[in-house]
Structure 1
Amino acid sequence: MHVDARGLRFEIRPGGPESGEPVLLLHGFPQHSGEWDAVVPTLHGAGLRTYALDQRGYSPQARPTEVAAYRLGELVADAVAVLDALGVTQAHVVGHDWGAIVAWALAAGHPDRVRTLTAVSVPHPAAMAHALANDPQQKARSAYMLLFRQAGVAEKTLLALDALGLRRLLREVGDDARVAAYADPLREPGALTAALNWYRAMSRTELAAVGPVSVPTTFVWSDRDVAIGRTAAEACAAHVSGDYHLVELPGVSHWIPDEAPAPLAEAILARARPTA
């Protein structure tokens, strides 16, 4: 389905019983709403209504060209506007990777719109800042962002040789068909640049402005995540004032929704299972 919001048209994959409590699913880089395909059947079976959003830059008709259009405040405003367009007053919010950053900021800035939060892989921005300042290993893990912020250079690197760099980045999501399902849409003109603009618009000031989260929160982290280390994961608790739970998935990579959909779905349900 399509939703018009803020002068843009977003693509959304809805599912589950229409009367169920709503769940907004926010994907990360370099993926799209399809990353939730193996997770949502369990949520639907529990009676939840899901809305998997192709976010700004990923929906072809929501792809501004200016880098500043991808600042965190714009991404959060999109999520609020999409909820408004769907007629959803309050939702369980689940985000992975960059989607987790949007989810953290949404929960911190608009707690009235978020019933529960399940953040996957990426912790609260303040926890990341703590790790980057205190853990040399986390600084090394995050070095890839320097490449992604280089306009033109990153695109050339990731798309060269039949998008070999992009496919290597995604190699742990599954088989070749699964890798292609994510990589191929980003080979369309302008698509990868739009996705990378999230990194280029990233502002320390905006990230630092994300305050503590008061809604019930679960953070799901995997110990084989090459991007996020234990220091950042364990620092997350200090930035949640509401009920908080850390779920650690051993032996799983960064791509949790693809590699471990069953335990992720259970973690989401433990937080968001309908009570009535």
Structure 2
Amino acid sequence: MLNPTDFPEPTLVPVNGVELEVFEAGRENEGKPVVLCHGWPEHAFSWRHLMPTLAAAGYHVIAPNQRGYGNSSRPTEVTDYDIEHLSGDLVALLDHYGYEDATFIGHDWGAFVVWGLTLLHPNRVNKVINLSLPYQVRGEKPWIEVMEEFLGGDFYFVHFNRQPGVADAVFDENSFQFLRNLYRKNVPPAPPEPGMAMINLARAETPRGEPVMSDSELAVYVSAFASSGFTGSINWYRNLDRNWRLLADVDPIIRQPALMIYGDQDWAIPRSEDLTEFVPHVEVVGLDCGHWIQEEMPEETNQVISRWLERQDATVRP
């Protein structure tokens, strides 16, 4: 386990009308940028195991807390968290460091943003590595509408949209309990409970399964959300249908080399059946873990990513 005090000190970087709290490693490796995009409810600290490995491999590693998280800006308008704003932040971050393009690595919601960034700004992305969340195909109906139809109003994506503020308040009141109960592995299967699962989790007094991180590591997340609250991060979910509309006229094919890493025990997110149709140059790897891939199996995750990047770099050398 990494001591949180060993994590790099952040800087506040002005981008796209906001400020992002950015953590870096390997600044001496100018010219080989990798940008790490966390998910929900995460923090740049989730990349603590990967950052030193990439820096040692010669990369300039840039890990922002995205808008709504940590000490980054938290705009109050829900629409300020749509895919245009989130991808625009990353483009502006490249501009800040003077990079034309970069390799982007995303986990969970961060993966959604990386897929969207690659569609909206393909010339700014040279390689894609995503964990947990595969490419989401844009169907005929908006995403929340489809989820409501098939999964019901208590499904947390739907609940966040249809009952704004309700879950936010519960998470804010129970931030330690919620995050402690969420960041677990080897959770035994249980029958579904009535109500909204994430709210139930936040109110559960006893965690299930095993912790994926130490108490001191968990404290970094708890402290960050105690300061920021959860609303900014949940506003990402409140833009899913808006994102569906914003991506209407975009070429849906990802043409960059891509690596997709699944947690084989991540029952919440099924593998994509048509991934290669939309991401033709993708390599798929499964690790024997749950949703928190880089937290549960850091060494294996680092190895898969490092070897894939080595192979990609070898193919483009003269």
TM-score bracket for the superposition, by shorter chain length? 0.7 to 0.9
Per-residue CA distance 1:69-108 (angstroms, 9 max, x = gap): 0011110111111111111111111011111011111112
Mean Cα deviation higher: 161-170 or 7-16: 161-170
Structure 1 position 170 matched with structure 2 position 211: no
Which residue pairs with 1:26 in the alignment? 37
Q: Which runs of 4+ in 1 moved over 4 A?
A: 127-130, 132-135, 207-210
Which residue pairs with 2:157 in the alignment? 145
Deviation at 1:42, TM superposition (A): 1.6
Deviation at 1:60, TM superposition (A): 2.8
Question: Cα RMSD between the aligned structures?
Answer: 2.7
Deviation at 1:147, TM superposition (A): 3.2
Which residue pairs with 1:193 in the alignment? 231
Deviation at 1:12, TM superposition (A): 0.9
Structure 1 position 5 matched with structure 2 position 44: no
Deviation at 1:165, TM superposition (A): 2.5
Whether the aligned pair in 2 keeps the contact of 1:217 and 1:271 (CA below 8 Å) is no
Gap runs ≥5 in structure 2 = 1-10, 186-211
Structure 1 position 267 matched with structure 2 position 304: yes
Q: Which amino acid aligns with 1:205?
A: R
Structure 1 position 258 matched with structure 2 position 298: no
Normalised to the residue count of structure 1, the TM-score between the two structures is 0.87
Deviation at 1:40, TM superposition (A): 1.6
Q: How high is the sequence identity, in percent, across the aligned residues?
A: 34
Structure 1 position 228 matched with structure 2 position 266: no
Normalised to the residue count of structure 2, the TM-score between the two structures is 0.76
Deviation at 1:175, TM superposition (A): 2.6
Q: Which protein is bigger by CA-based radius of gyration?
A: 2
Structure that is richer in helix per residue: 1
Which residue pairs with 2:277 in the alignment? 238
Deviation at 1:155, TM superposition (A): 1.7
Q: Which amino acid aligns with 1:237?
A: T
Which residue pairs with 1:202 in the alignment? 240
Q: Secondary structure at the match of 2:30?
A: coil
Between 1 and 2, higher relative CO (CA 8 Å, sep ≥ 6) is seen in 1
Give the Cα separation in 1 of the matches to 2:58 and 2:140: 37
Which residue pairs with 2:74 in the alignment? 63
Deviation at 1:10, TM superposition (A): 0.9
Give the Cα separation in 2 of the matches to 1:255 and 1:269: 18
Q: Which amino acid aligns with 1:79?
A: L
Deviation at 1:127, TM superposition (A): 7.7
Whether the aligned pair in 2 keeps the contact of 1:20 and 1:47 (CA below 8 Å) is no
Give the Cα separation in 2 of the matches to 1:126 and 1:22: 28
Give the Cα separation in 1 of the matches to 2:79 and 2:164: 13
Gap runs ≥5 in structure 1 = none
Which residue pairs with 2:109 in the alignment? 98
